[in-house]
Structure 1
Amino acid sequence: MELINNLDLFQTVFNSAPNGIAVLKSLYDNKGKTEDFSILLFNTYIINWIDDKEYKEKPFSKVFTKIKETNILEQFIETAETGVTSNFEQWYGEETNKQCFRFTAVKQDDVLVVTMEDITEKKHAETALNTALLDAEKQKRLYNSILNGTPDLVYVFSLDYKFTYANKALLTMWGKSAEDAIGRGLIENGYEDWHAEMHEQEIDTVVTTKKPVRGTVSFPHAELGRRIYDYIFVPVFNENGEVELVAGTTRDITESKQAEEKLQQSENRFRKMIHQTPAPTLVLKGDDLIIEQINSHMLQMIGRGEEIIGMRLIDVLPELEGQYVWEQVLKVYNEGIPFDQSEVLVPHNRTGELKDYYYNLAYRPLIEDGEITGMIQVAVEVTQQVVARQKMGESESRFRALINASSDLVYRMDADWMIMQDLEGDGRLVNQRERGVNWLDKFIHASDLQMAVHLISKSIVEKSIFEMEHRVINKDDSISWVFSRVVPILDDQEKIIEWFGASSDITSQKELQNVIAESGERFRQLADLVPQIIWTANSEGFVDYYNSRWYEYTGYIEDEFGDPSWISKLHPDDVYLVSKTWYESVHAGVPYQTEFRLKNANTGEYRWFLSKALPIRDKEGIIINWFGTCTDIHEQKSITEKLEILVKDRTKELQRSNDDLQQFAHVASHDLKEPVRKIKTFLSRLEDHIAGQLDESSSKYIERIHVAADRMFNMIDGVLAYSKMNADSQKTTIVDLNEVIKNIETDLEIALQNTNGTIYFEELPVIEGASVLLYQLFYNLINNSIKFAKEDTPPEISITATEQIEEGNRIAVITVEDNGIGFDLDQTGRIFETFTRLNSKDRYEGTGLGLSLCKKIAERHGGSIKATGIANKGAIFIITLPFEQKVKDI
């Protein structure tokens, strides 16, 4: 108690402790039992934690309000009453911010000394460690379960191509045990030689590149036969980052490949169904309800063209916003509940004016992988029917008159088609309730009855939809065509309980088909009038029609046509090329054009024809047939051949003229050089003869004669080189431009040393070309940069390259840039002209032919050269050269 009385000393000692320390005094109830504690002293640790400096003499449970949710207070009371030291751990605090403490309570005289150590982080660490150990064990079990439970093939190769692991699926595929397979190579485990060699090369690639390799392969399964597999090899690295193993997984994708093909077929059928359905139909996709497909009936109904495909429906018909029909569209897409309703009022702008229209609507959600991705809309306009019914709806008799006037019949039948009831009350056809098939005799024409009974029986057995076009006899004994479609209604046991059907009058459509047939006949009559051979073929390229001109020319009769007939009429030398060209066009779906010879049946001669064909496509872009012509070009062909002979003769004359000019250039250059040599020789002798007698002016004049003679000599060589540029052809080879520049750097070594010049280049391309010419091109450019350097400034020449694609061809773009005297931009157009000099000939030597030669060399390689510059800043030359030459002689 003396220590307690000396509070300052006591507080100083306690405040130095790293943990919380509290001194408590018991508070008793009326029975003398400890029920709480009065706080005598807290150290700084606890004061900072509770943030209450007025804590003294307050009850412990009032300061620590959450204490009653724990057994901390009970432990303290037990120690206070028994004197037995307690040591325990307990969580304390708000649910979202709990801390764990280790409490030690010691009774000293009549006070209780409590220490508290925050072990929250330790507890969290222990929990995390235990969780991690459990997770690791679970992960190991999961790993083993996955590897041996997955149908995928999982395996590991050593770097010598041996299997070091194979999962259960792989062993099953081999039909082997692990003992028989592990440690053996690919061939030992049944792989074919080509297959094993391919995988070994791929393993080497993974090891070399340290990157995965993926592929697809087909090989036999021990139980399932030949299958298609997708596989991937990945590197397994050691602690040094080196590949020590190669792991692989292989997945059987046979079913998915087959499913993809079936899905594509299904998609194509779906598209055709949309476009061929007689009802106006469209398909919307995505949250924005984009028009993905729409048939011609729907386009015609809303008065728009195919340009609306890809647009939002609400943008095409903005007047639908807020209407009942638009609310149903959104409901079907958002909730997936189908919508079917007849005679829905839809005010919209179809003809430039907002009017009321009525439609029979059917909306269905499109569901893919359990999610709604779009919807199908079928809208049949019934405005006229609704308006007519409204006008005639005043009486039952008028209503029945309207129904009886309609050609569309709706009815239902029992499961066996024995009883038929007209839902619209049309008594003229049916309302037959007696047993038997008497109604069939009345509803279906006798000529179609046998087929109808067969299809009805088939539909009943297969529980499939009945569809048929058939004739009916009207009351006035006239015959009409109808299209009947009857759908089975099944109960939850997949048993037919009744049938619902509809029949539409298609008499006008049948008449239209007859009109189309008559139109086809008129086409044939017109085709027989033209002098060309006209033919058509189906989508696979088999000829199915010729006009009469074909039969007149070939001598065939009209039931003989198709591939065998036209091939046999071709000239034997043309058969292969024509057949190849035709079938390649059919396969690629591109227009066909070629020339060939056909044998005339009357004269036996072969005449030249120009044949052309175009694919005819439907609205989906699918080829439905081919239309072709064959035109007699025999006379034009003869004229062309004569012209070709004339061109060859003129070409020979030009070649002979060029050879003469070339010979003249050689002779002229030799004859011109000879007087220049004599001038130089006698001038030198004159200098020797009068040596020491010349004054300064005479020496200067003689020097100028030397310079002029040298310039003339160089001029003659330049003219000869320029004239030979087009005459001498060069073989193309693979040319490394890096090596070319290195050689030029060696040849110009003295000039570079005299001027302290430097050439910078790296990673120049390797291209096809004439090595000698390319050397001359870059030699002239670099030599010019050295020659036209600025005074007191060492020349620096930079050569860089990039690659670009032009019309599908790889093009090298090489830039040669220097820091010389440059030139004005207005001189760019003249710089490549022959004998053009932009600088004084007295100050800078040269013939004015170097850049002209560079231009010729670039153009002979199928490239180009451009120049730009700034006076006293330098010049830039940009050369474009193709990577590959189309000819081998340049």
Structure 2
Amino acid sequence: MELTENNDFFETVFNSAANGIAVIKSLFNDKGEIEDFSILLFNTYTKKWIGDIEYKNKRFSAVFPTIKKNGILERFIEAAQTGVTANFESWYDGEGIQLWFRFTAVKQDELLIVTTEDITERKKAEITLNNALTAAEKQKRLYDSITSTTPDLVYVFDLSYKFTYANKALLTMWGKSAEDAIGKGLRENGYEEWHAAMHEREIDEVVASKKSIRGTVSFPHAELGKRIYDYIFAPVLNEKGEVEAIAGTTRDITEIKLAEEHQFLSRKKIEESEARLKSMIDQTPSPTLVLMGDNLVIEQINKHMLTLIGRDEEIIGMPLIEVLPELKGQYVWTQVQNVYNKGISFDQSEVLVQHNRTGIIVDYYYNLAYRPLVEDGKITGMIQVAVDVTQQVVARKKMEESETRFRALVNASSDMVYSMNADWTIMRTMEGSRFLSDVEEPTINWFDKYIHPDDKQIVLNHIKESIANKSVFELEYRVLNADGSLGWTFSRAIPILDHENNIIEWFGAASDITSQKEVEQIIKESEEKFRLLADLVPQIIWTGQPDGFVDYYNKRWYEYTGFEENEFGDTSWTPFLHPDDVDLVLGYWYQSVQKGTAYQIELRLKNGDTGEFRWFLSKAVPIKDGSGVIVKWFGTCTDIHEQKTITEKLEVLVENRTKELKRSNEDLQQFAHVASHDLKEPVRKIKTFTSRLEDHLDGKLDESASRFIERIHVATDRMYNMIDGVLAYSKINADLQKPTLVDLNKVIKNIEIDLEIILQKTGGKIHYHDLPTIEGALVLLYQLFYNLINNSIKFAKNETPPEIKLSSKIVTQEDKSLAVITVEDNGIGFESAQAERIFETFTRLNSKDSYEGTGLGLSLCKKIAERHGGNIVAEGNTKGAAFIITLPLKQNENDI
């Protein structure tokens, strides 16, 4: 099973992560902007941190309310909007706690993955360390200030008797600058031979005995003349207890020696000097303690040390071991005794000391410096300086624990995780790596042992290139497994660089891709079978990559074009397109590739031998995986030249016939106009002579004769109307009109005015409101609704005033907006079986003697609706008739 398919494994990794992980989804406001996130999932670490609350589908800011104030929510929103990973640190204050986190927000599709790392301890450790460094710098400045302002001469010799330090008082005595004096010996700084030789012997003695010596000497001062000095040489020991330098202090005791009467003044000066020393210790920023005597009694202690051990000044004068009895038996107490008893200086970092500071014994870590105090060559006490580094040590240990967890996670991987030295000659694998599992110890000959002989050179070339360019190494190659079998691996290694950009190590991972390679081989064999089959087909067959780049043609393509084999892509087929087809074909093709839709177009391709262009039908379909992603294009080109040629001939023939038909229609239109005029003339004469006959026989006609003459009048009127109807019906398709915006409310209002007399006569009413505005021909739409409303009045029931109601609604069909207008009445209606027949020309459902009309009105309505790209249907029963007209809101054509 692939690692990525193992849900249980990933759930375990997700919940065992040392940091908090949250999966959240964007929430949008009514403006489409992200304003917050909905919580989908927390890992175990986060759930423990927030406590036992129901968090799913809650707002992120509701569970963590302070993220709005400190800008965290704003950073998450920015990552979700831009897709750029956010990586930042921020304080988080909430419910009496203040923690520092590192947040990483990564957008994944519609989700945001937020990783939270608690770096509070590390931050506090950094702050403490920075404060300690600042204090140390301050302490150094204080020491420099003390040594520079003291009247005593302070200096340091190296083992070759050269000065490595001289304070301001000594330089003043010599009358030299530090640049002129430091690094030079006694004689170079003006000491007489006897004086220099004496001090060199004393330095040798201090080095040999590792004990201080004290003496008195007289030598000239650059400004004060001959003076008497008391001096002490003390050894400076390294961590091995070896003398690495000699520190000296010299005090001017001229006045003491020259005049005993000044003894009181000298004692006072000594006391003042001791007071200054005490003041210096009190002002030292580091915790400092002075112990004196065999019992190591606390003689001086500054406030920082008192805070460090959790005591008050009442402990001055008490033995240290009585103040801190828990030190007995600990490593630190042994070192205290060694400094006092053996004069061995002690300097060590991160020393574990268990002591009672706040009422209970706790582990603390200190950077300690102990120095013996020597008087007259005898150790009389010691000075201690301690810096609390507990927070830094605890933070580092936590980082080490985190690294251990990281190693455990790496070891849980099925891949082999390894490291190489800078030149790839030595391999080390992480414990538990499965792949090539016998490589548990550093392997020097790994290259010869595991790389397949046929792949060694290419692997070696890639290694050399990566080393030379300091670039990532990535390669698939064959390996010899631990059990002797042959396999494939994909290896990726990253160079680790030092501050000078030199490679110090390589870190990488190797995946077993043997199964993948076997599948690729099966696919390759399948492709070969496909190609053999494709070469037998008379059509041109091709395949393309997801971006549309053609990567295969069958044999038919090369036979037709004469093109060189194995040349693919757009450059292999566009030169063979007809120049008039290039832009159209490329436009269709690139649109299909972009949208992932099927492609079909007719195009002309040039024959490589004859230069003739032939018509082809080109088709292509995208092949998609289970998730809908295109993985391949498959296409064909079929020769349709013969069919296309016949079609073109037919199109020419149809065009000629259309022209003839148009000419015939125009002649017919002219004939209809003339015929209607000529037919009207005899009808008018019949009506005229009938009227004259009626006048001539006025009073002489009986009832039957009058009824016959009346029928002649009715027949001639009907004939006259029928001739007008035929002319209007024939002209409805001949007169093209430009579409305009037509407000149907205004159209019905005008019809209502035109039919005002007949409406008043019959007591009829037209009801309508909020009818739509559509594009159309105003004259035709007026005629459409006039005929329908006039019909409703004409076919009203006896003794029943006509009620005509118009209503409308807007619908969408096939992405097209349509207006559906219904005209209903309370007339005589018709049988539903006659709903289609009433739109036929000259069709009448009722007696022509009972109802006037030509039978052309509804046929005309149907033609008008169809001219507008719509339709009309009828519904009827004994309660009335209803006509439903469907018309588009917008016209696609320029003429109607």
Question: Which is greater in Rg?
Answer: 2
TM-score w.r.t. the length of structure 1 is 0.49
Higher relative contact order (CA 8 A, sep 6+): 2
